[in-house]
Amino acid sequence: MTDINKDDLSWDDWDELVRPAAETTEFDSVVEANLSRRGFLGGLVAFGSGAAVMGLGTGASLMNSTSAQAQAAAGRFAFQPVGIATDATVHVPEGYKWDVLVKWGDKLFSDAADFDGAKGVPVASSDRVFGENTDGMELFAIGDKQVIAVNSEYVNPKVNLPHTEDGKPQSADDVKMLQNFQGVTVMEVAEDETGWQVVVDSPFNRRITHNTEMRIAGPAAGHDLLKTEADPTGTKSLGTFNNCGAGKTPWGTYLTCEENFNGYFGSTDEGFERPDDYKRYGIGLESRYSYEKFDERFDISKNVNEPRRAGYIVEIDPSNPDSTPVKRTALGRFKHENAACALAPSGQVVVYMGDDERGEFLYKFVSNGTYTPGAPTDGLLDDGQLYVAKFSEDGNGEWVALTEEATGMSKPEISIYSRMAASKVGATTMDRPEWVAVNPVSVEAYCALTNNKNRGIKPNAGGDDTSVNGPNPREANNYGQILRWYPENDDHAASSFKWDLYVMAGNPEVHGDSAYGGSENVNAGNMFNSPDGMMFDSSGLLWIQTDGNYKNEGDFAGMGNNQMLVGDPVTGQIERFMTVPYGSEVTGITWSADRRTVFVGIQHPAAPFPDGEGKLERSSIIAVKRDDNALIG
Ligand code: FEO
Ligand code: CA
Ligand code: CA
Ligand code: CA
């Protein structure tokens, strides 16, 4: 452990190192159920209704496909797959091109300083520029304008504070800069003959940071657990934190998801006794960026409720730069990855949400009210039922309602301590639920379970058992899988579903036919690990982004840098569309209004990207187009 540089760790590895979950002492031997590589997908074919049977049936036939079927399957992909890469740039298929739209530190307003390739951004401009570590995003067509709302998940202090020795903030100004580089950017974009640009000084442009005022709404609003000295009402908080994935409501607002909020809080009093809920949420005595040393709000020994005001989904109206973002507590509090919206046949709004930590859960919210275009929407995400997923081994599953009766907790407590509520009803522990994606052409949803080295090794932070189970079938799972479910009666609001695994990532070259070789639709030509970002295009193809091990050796040999692939839900086929610079993660995807451009996020490059050697590395959004300007999804 001594040679690990904590500053270089990913957030989840940092959590694991700084605040490890207790080692289990009573882990039983793992049941080898339905695990043979060939039997895995095949064993789950015989259930389901409608789309499920159609999808899996066709998928099964691909395994023994006739050439006509194989050709039909290949026909849905309008590109020739790319090989792996280990270099410092982006690769897209032949006939496609890419260009940088915006990089960390680029001006949103003309009064900001020009970016300095050696010095970065001065504090006075730090909330007037594009944020760091781009992540989830959505494009909104507002009148004849195109506006992107995009998350800035965390920072890379060694890059962002180049005047410091090791990226450690030395002053309140340093902390202020880091706070300003995170949160959300709203920006107008436009395309001309030179390509896509941010429209500097557009009235839509806006930065939402760790200090922007938010309104707290829903069951937890005004509860004692959310009151602070600065806000005795418990309804007004400052900032949105660790904004990871995102979502778009049917009424055209942006949902930004607070993931590893725990890491921003610390204590100046080493003897501070942490309450039990802090332990479940990983709130410790040491923060990641020393906020508590320079900004008292983040000092838990002085503001015990402040962390309880983070960990929510926040709704932002991108059409109104003066609007106050709203924390929707009815959607629960956990390490929110993204928020995938669907409409039930009744018009009820359904929001699927993953809690990205080892052994945590998959949730959904169903509104009590129904959505009617043009009618008021403000209460829809405040009034409804939060559910958590429970999976059976036989391919069935249910959404268990987190009610007062089922949990013994009050409604505000369920909203604030959602993890504990879910543990009480025996929810299924998952392999780090990342993005959920809802298929627009078939009633089904997918969740990327990115990996879980603790599966079968130790319990989650709440002590829940994490033995292998149906959708999480591999002990010490370093590859990840994509789960899929088909709601009962084709109704996303229904309380039961059928499930299967769309793909188990793996390395067939290293592990052959064992479970770690992956499912049938993984081969030497499309290998990847750690699926994370996911979004369907309008034709029902699933775009899959990875955030994994890019060392290209050992268990990961033949996988190369992180990558974006495209999957066909019907045939199971998956092909590689893009590779990204070494060290970076590809995360965040959205399309232009005319769907001739796909915007893709490149987060935390370790490679000298995109400005080249000797310049600061900068997270960026790139614009990918076809040379012939045809539709791209
Ligand atoms: Fe921010 Fe779970 O990814
Ligand atoms: Ca992610
Ligand atoms: Ca990830
Ligand atoms: Ca990330």
- The residues placing their C-beta within 5 Å of ligand 3, an ion, are 532, 547
- Identify the pLDDT of residue 8: 75
CB of 357 within 6 A of ligand 1: the answer is no
**Residue 313, beta-bridge partner list:** 257, 328
127-157: pLDDT as tens digits: 999 999 999 999 999 999 999 999 999 999 9
- Indicate which ligand has the atom closest to the C-alpha of 242: 1
Is residue 434 within 6 Å of ligand 1 at its C-beta?
Answer: yes
Q: Is 537 in the pocket of ligand 1 (CB under 6 A)?
A: no
Question: 194, exposed or middle or buried, with CB in 10 Å at 0-12, 13-18, 19+?
Answer: exposed
For the domain spanning 6-626, the CATH number is 2.120.10.10
Q: How far is the CA of 245 from the centre of ligand 1 (A)?
A: 7
Provide long-range contacts, Cβ within 8 A and 24+ apart, for 139-142.
Answer: 139/189, 139/590, 139/591, 139/592, 139/593, 139/599, 140/248, 140/252, 140/254, 140/318, 140/319, 141/593, 142/204, 142/252, 142/318, 142/319
What SS3 class is residue 556? helix
Confidence (pLDDT) at 76: 85
pTM: 0.92
Whole-number Å distance, alpha carbon 96 to ligand 1 midpoint, is 28
The pLDDT, as a whole number, for residue 407 is 98
Identify the bridge partners of residue 527 per DSSP, sorted by sequence position. none
Which residue ranges of the chain lie beneath pLDDT 50? 1-3, 23-73
Residue 603, H or E segment: strand 597-603
137 CA distance to ligand 3 middle (Å): 15
Q: How far is the CA of 81 from the centre of ligand 1 (A)?
A: 26
| CB of 355 closer than 6 angstroms to any ligand 1 atom | no
Per-domain residue ranges for the chain?
A: 6-626
Q: Whose CA is nearest to atom 1 of ligand 1?
A: 244
Task: Determine if ligand 1 sits within 6 Å of the CB of residue 101.
Answer: no
CB of residue 382 inside a 6 A radius of ligand 1: no
Measure 444 CA to ligand 2 centroid, in angstroms: 21
